[in-house]
Chains A and B, each alone.
Chain A
Amino acid sequence: MEPRIGVFVCHCGVNIGGFVDVPNVVEYVKTLPNVVYAGRNLYTCADDGLSAIKNAIKEHNLNRVIVASCTPRTHAPLFRRTCEEAGLNKYLFEFVNIREHCSWVHMKEPERATEKAKKLIEMGVAKAALLEPQEEVRVPVEPRALVLGGGVAGMSAALSLANQGYETHLVEKEDKLGGFVRNLHTLYQTGKGGIESINPLIEKVMANKKIKLFTSSMLKNLTGYIGNYEATIAGKEGETKTKFGTIIVATGALEYKPVGLYGYGEYQNVITLGEFEKMEIEGKFPSAKNVAFINCAGSRGQALEYCSRICCTNVIKSAMKLLEAKAPEAAATLAASIPEAPREEEAVAEEGGRRRRRRREAPAGAAAAPPPSGIDVTVFNRGITTYGIERELLYNAARERGVKFVKFIPENPPKVSREGDKLAISYYHETLKMERKMNPDLIILAAPLVQRPEAEELSKMLKVPLGRDKFFFEAHVKLRPLDFATDGIYLCGTAHAPVFIDEAIYQAYGAASRASIPLARGYVQTEAITAVVDDKKCIGCGSCYGVCPYHAIELSEKEVSLEEVSLKTRKSYVNPAVCKGCGTCVVICPTGAIAQRNFTMPQIMAAIKAFSGIPVPLEVLAL
C-alpha cells in the first residue's frame, strides 16, 4: 500500500501559533515525501478540526494521518477515534507534539521554533510511512469487585458496588468494620460518637448479601490484570484465591506521632488530638482547666510538606466540646465563670431596616450557647482552614462561644516548656508584637494524617504508585482523581489524601462508579501497541522478565524445530492483555528479539534519519 499521508498542523490558539509560523510549516510539510495533503487548524481538537480530518481522509484518500499539535496524553484518543470514524485503522495515526516539545520551550526564539516544528513533523512523516494497522484485543471481565479496607470509604464503595448488582469482597485488617472512625469520640457533622454515627452504614454492609466480608484479613498476593485479577486473601481461616474484575483501594491513614515537637514524648500532658479522642472514648477525660491546642504539629513544612485538611475543624470541634464539658473540681476555686446573658436573636431586623445596635445579631452559624464551663481553651494556629460552609460556620460559632484563637507564623512557633510542675507556652503575639506566656494544664497537638506503613508493600503488590507525600497517587490530579494509572484499580478516602468522612464517602461512591464500568461492560479493550517476541531470535535469557514493570512477561518451555532437529528451550511470551507498551523489554533484549508494535526499530530509525539525514542500516540494528 503506497503511503498517502495527510498532515494537520494545529495553532492551538496562540499556544503554538503565537510562536511557530504555522503557515510556513504547512508549506514545508507539503514538500515532504508521501505527503498528499497538509493543512492547518486553529484548534484541531475542536469539532471543525475533526471534521477537517475526516473530510481530508475521504477527499484525498489518505491512509496515514498526522496531527502536529499538543500532547498524545490528552488528545491521541480523540484523533484516533476520528480516524476510525473515517474508516482508517487508528494505528495509522501518528501524533507529533509541537507544543510541549517545541513552542512552549522556545517561546523566545520563534524562528528556531518554526524550524524545529518542521523537523519534528518530518520525523513523524518518515515514521508514519512505515505504520501498520493494529488490532486491539477484547478480554472478558470477571464480574466481581474487591475492596481493600473496611472503613467508611471501603464500606461505602462495597455497598454501592453491591447495590449496582456486583458481587463484592470487602477485606478488613481488623476484626471489626469502621476503621479510623472507631477512634473518634464525636463527629463535627453529627455531634454524636464516631461509631454511633456510622452504625447505619455498618449494618447495611453486614446485611447485604452481595458483599462477602473478610475481617482480620489482608491481601497477600495479586496476579493478573484488569478484568482478570486473582487475589489471595489471607485471614484467620487460611487463604482463599478469588478472581476479580476490578479493585478499590480504601486502606485509610494513621495519625502522625509528632515526637520531638512541642514537648510531645517529653511531657505527659502533651498529647495528640487522636489520643485525646481515645481518652474521651475510654472515659478518661483529662483533668484540665486551661487547654491549649497547637495546630499543624508536624505538617505544612514542619516535618511533612502537606496540610492535613481535617485538623482545624476537628480541633474546633474538640475545643467546643471542652467548653461545654464540666470543669474539673480544681477549677471551682478559680475565677468564677462569667454568667452569660440570654442571647437575643431578634436583634437587627426591625421595621424600616433600622437596627438596634447594642444587642448584636448572632453571626451565622452560632447556635444557642450553653453556659461556659470555666475551661479556658486557646487554639494556636497558622490560619484556620475551615473551608466550605458548615466548617466555617462552626469556626464562627467557636469564637462566639469563647474559644480563643492565636495565630503564629512558622518562623516563630510557640515554645512549650516546663515551669516547676506546670507546662508553659511562650508565644509571640503577631498583632501586638509582644512576647506572651500562658500555663495550660493540657496541650493537644493537631497532628496530620499519614500513610500507613504497610502501604509501601501494597503499592508494590498492586503495581500502583505512592506520591512524594507517601499517599497513593492518582492517574490525573484534576480529571481522574479516583483512578490509578493501572487499569482496573481505583482509590478513595484517606489512602489518597486526608479527607473528612462525608468526603471519603462520596469518593467511595465515585470509585465504585469507576470500578463498575468494566464490570458493566463485560469486557476490556486492551492497547495494541504491545511488545511481541520473535521466537527465532529469543534465547530465553530472561532479561525481559526481570525488568517488566507490569509482570506481563512469561517464560515458558517451548519446542523449537530446526530442520530435522527439535528441542525444548525457554522462550519469552508477552501477555498482550497486561502489557502497557512501555518498551522496557525491547531495550533490554540483548538479541533484538522483542519489537514493540507501532514503535518498531525501522520506524524509529526512519524518524532519526529524517531528523539527522544520516541513514542507519537496519541490518546493523537487527544484529
Chain B
Amino acid sequence: MVTIDELIKDTGAYDCVECGKCTTVCPISNANPKFAPRLIVVKAMAGLEGLAQEPDIWTCTTCETCSDMCPYKVMYSEFIRGLRVEAVSLGVKPRCSQHGLMQNMMRMMTNPGIKQNRLKWVTPELKIADKGEVFYFTGCLPQMSIIFEDREGVNLLGIAQSAVKIFNRAGITPVVSNQEVCCGHDLNWAGDEKNVEKLMKINLDMIKNSGAKKVVFSCPECLRTFDVDYQDMAGDLDYEFMHISEFVADLIDEGKIAFNKLEEKVTYHDPCRLGRHLGIYDAPRDVLKATGADLIEMGRNMKKSACCGVSAWVSCESLTKKMQLERMVEAVGTGAKKLITACPKCQIHLRCAVSKEMPFEKEKADIPIQDFTIMVANSLK
C-alpha cells in the first residue's frame, strides 16, 4: 500500500492548480453538486486526515472524464483507487451492489482448488482449443449471465459465443480455458489489491501454459486489468493484449473476414475502460462501419463519452439512474435502431435504468442495446 504522499506523486496530484475544470466535466458533479473530484485531492494536498473514511471516494465512477480533461493530467481515478485501498485496510466496507455477491465470487476464485464449470456456453459448432497462438479471455460472462438472467434485453453468453464464432470464421481456433478466473478488475477498484494479485497469478500461469502469444478480450475491463494493472504489478509481460475490435480490424485489413452489409442505423457508446482508460476509439468504429452499419454519433462521444453510471459495483446511488436515463435518451435521440456498446457492464447498467420505473414515458429512453461482438458476429458473411 502506498502512502498519501506517494499517491500524490504517483498520480501527479501536485500538479493541480485548482482550476476546477474537473468539476465542470464530472458526470457525478453534474448530478450531485456536493461532489467534486478535486476536493478529494485538495484535501489530501492540504494534509487533512481521514480522507479514506469519506463516502465520496466511493461515489466516483472512475470514468476518467476528469483526468482526460485535466489540463495537467492529474490522475484523479487512480488517486481514488489508492484511497480505496487505504480505506479497505482501515476496515471500511464499500456499499456493494447485489449485496457484494460479485466481489465474493471473485474472492472465491482466488482459491486455487476451486472447481469451475465455465464452458457450458461452448455450443458444439464452436471450435476451441487447450493450446494455441490466440487466447480468448472470456471474463465474468458465464457467472454474470446467471445473475442477470432475468434482466430484460441483456445477452451475455452471446458475447462469448459470438467472439468464438468470429475467430472460427477467420480460421482461428482460440484457446478458451475452464481454468480461467476473474481478472480482478472489480476488486482492484474496490480497494482489494491483495486478491487481485492472487487472481493474476492464476490467470497468468494459465495463459503461459496455453502457449498463447496473443490474448484477445471482449471485455474492456479485463483488457485494462491485464494491459495496465497486471503489468504494473508483475512488470512487462510478453503477450500482445488486444480488444476484439482491434483484432477484428486486423482481420478485415488482412481480408480474412467479410460482412453482409446490413445498413442498420446504430449508435455507439464508448465504454470508459476501452475509451478514456485505454484510448481505443477508432477500432470499434472502423469495424462497425465495415459491417455496413450506418453509425450515428451521440453528442457525447469518444473522449467526452458519458458514463454508464456504475463501476466495480460500488458506486450505484440514487443519481446513477438519472445519468443512465440521460444517456439512453441521448441514444434514442440519434434515431438509431440500436445502441452498440463494447462493454457487458455498460449493457447491464444501462438496461437496469430502463427496466425499472421511469419519470417519463418509456419510449423516450428505450432503445435495444447490443454488444459490439454480437453485432459483428451477426453481420459475418
> Using a CB–CB distance below 8 Å, which chain A residues touch chain B?
338, 340-341, 352-361, 363, 384, 396, 399-400, 402, 404-405, 407, 429, 431-432, 436
Contact = CB atoms under 8 A, between A and B. Distances in A.
Contact of A340 (B9, B73, B232): B9
B216 to A, nearest CB: 14
Given A432-B39, A432-B42, 5 more contacts: A356-B228, A384-B17, A429-B46, A431-B18, A431-B42
Given A354-B279, A355-B278, A360 B14 contact: no
B146 interface: no
6 contacts: A341-B6, A355-B278, A356-B232, A357-B228, A400-B12, A432-B46
Interface string B52-80: 00000000000000000000110100100
B277 interface: yes
Interface string B269-292: 000000001111000000000000
A431 B6 CA distance: 23
For B38, B228, B229, B246, the residue with the greatest tally of chain A CB atoms inside 10 Å of its CB is: B228
A593 B46 CA distance: 77
Contact of A360 (B12, B18, B38, B229): B12
Contacts of A353: 279
A355 B274 CA distance: 11
B14 A400 contact: yes
A363 B71 CA distance: 10
A393 to B, nearest CB: 12
Interface in B1-21: 3, 5-6, 9-12, 14-18
A436 B73 contact: no
A357 B14 CA distance: 17
Contact of B6 (A338, A360, A363): A338
B337 interface: no
A340 B2 CA distance: 12
Majority secondary structure, A binding face = loop
Interface of B: 3, 5-6, 9-12, 14-18, 38-39, 42-43, 45-46, 48, 72-73, 75, 78, 227-229, 231-232, 246, 277-280
Contacts of B232: 356, 358-359
Contacts of B15: 363, 396, 399-400
Contacts of A405: 17
Nearest to B48: A432
Contacts of B78: 357-358
Contacts of B43: 432
Contacts of A399: 14-17
Nearest to A398: B14
B241 to A, nearest CB: 9
Contacts of A431: 18, 38-39, 42
A59 to B, nearest CB: 62
B5 A357 contact: no
A361 B73 contact: yes
Given A360-B73, A432-B42, A402 B14 contact: yes
Contacts of B10: 358-360
A384 B18 CA distance: 12
Contacts of B17: 384, 399, 405
Contact of A355 (B11, B45, B46, B279): B279
B73 A363 contact: yes
Give me the 7 closest cross-chain CB pairs, A-B, nearest first: A353-B279, A358-B232, A360-B12, A399-B14, A431-B42, A357-B228, A399-B15
B75 A357 contact: yes
Contacts of A360: 10-12, 73, 75
A358 B11 CA distance: 7
Contacts of A359: 10, 232
A338 B78 CA distance: 20
B246 A352 contact: yes
Nearest to B16: A399
Nearest to B20: A431
A363 B11 contact: no
B18 A357 contact: no
B8 to A, nearest CB: 9
A400 B13 CA distance: 9
Contacts of A338: 3, 5-6
A399 to B, nearest CB: 5
B73 to A, nearest CB: 7
For A355, A384, A405, A431, the residue with the greatest tally of chain B CB atoms inside 10 Å of its CB is: A431
